[in-house]
Structure 1
Amino acid sequence: MNDPVDHLACVELVELVTAFLDGDLDPVAERRVVDHISLCDGCDRYVDQVRQTTDVLAGLSGGAPLSDEARERLLAAFRDSIG
C-alpha cells in the first residue's frame, strides 16, 4: 500500500465489509480490503466480528441467509458501535 491512491480508510472498509464477506467485490477492491486488514488490527477484528455474528445468525435461522433488511440493520449496528 505504498500508493496513497490505493489506501483504504477504515470508514471505507466498514462500507465494504458485507460485500467483502459475501465475495461480491471486484478483485481490485477485494485486494484493497485484504491489504488494509493485514495492516489494521482494529479493522481485522471488526471483519472477524461481522463474520462471526453473521455465522451465528445464520445458524439460528437454520442456515437461511439473512434478509437484506436484517443485514443492513446489522451493518448499521456495527457502524454505530465504532463511532
Structure 2
Amino acid sequence: MNELECRTFVEQVTAYLEGALSPEAEQTFIDHLPLCTGCENYLDQMQRTQQALSNLPADGLPDDTRSALLAAFQRRATNS
C-alpha cells in the first residue's frame, strides 16, 4: 500500500482499538496488516502501550513521576 494508505491506517489505530470502526473500515484495516510490516509493528506497539497503560492507577501518576516522564518526552522530541 502507498504512504497515504499507511497514514490512514495510523490515523485509524485508536478507533480500531476502541472498536469504533465500521465493519467495512475494520476489514480494510485488517486486510492491510499482512501487506505492511511497518503498520503491523505500529499496531503491535500501540496494543502493548494500551495494555501497559491499563495497569496505571485511576487517580493518575504522582507529580514527580509525571514531570519526569514529560521531561523525557521533551528531551526525545528535541533530539529527533
- TM category (shorter chain) comes to 0.5 to 0.7
User: Where do 4+ consecutive residues of structure 1 move more than 3 Å?
Assistant: none
Equivalent in the alignment of 2:57: 61
Picking from 48, 51, 57, the partner of 1:52 is 48
Picking from 12, 15, 31, the partner of 1:19 is 15
Picking from 31, 36, 40, the partner of 2:32 is 36
Amino-acid identity (%): 45
TM-score w.r.t. the length of structure 2 is 0.64
TM-score w.r.t. the length of structure 1 is 0.62
Structure 1, unaligned runs of 5 or more? 2-7, 63-76
Bigger Cα Rg: 2
> What is the alpha-carbon root mean square deviation over aligned residues?
2.3
Structure 2, unaligned runs of 5 or more? 59-72
Q: Distance in 2 between matches of 1:32 and 1:10?
A: 12
Total equivalences in the alignment: 58
SS state at 2:54 partner? helix
SS state at 1:60 partner? coil
The one-letter amino acid paired with 2:30 is V
